[in-house]
Amino acid sequence: MSRFRPAKKRISVSVGESVRIVRELQGLSQNQLAERTGIPQATLCAIENDRVRLGVERAKTERKPFCLGR
């Protein structure tokens, strides 16, 4: 028997909320992130508010300014 128990899920965070949280933790404005990724600021706003889906290719582009692994 394992000595560890799986962690309980405490909160549910959407993809858009995750993008906003990481952006704010990095101290970036939406305009700064837009400049670094080439994604328009209005689109970033829509992603953060879950009005537009992030998508795999866009996520790959967006992660680079955050230095989020490979």
Q: 59 vs 44, which has greater pLDDT?
A: 44
Domain 15-66: CATH superfamily, name plus number: lambda repressor-like DNA-binding domains (1.10.260.40)
Alpha carbon dihedral 28, 17, 59, 34, in 10-degree steps, equals: -30
Confidence of residue 5 (pLDDT cuts 50, 70, 90): confident
The pTM for the full model equals 0.68
Q: Are 47 and 19 in contact, with CB atoms under 8 Å apart? A: yes
How far apart, in whole angstroms, are the C-alpha atoms of residue 57 and residue 13?
Answer: 21
User: If you search the block for the tokens 């899920």, which residue do you land on?
Assistant: 9
**Domains of the chain by residue range:** 15-66
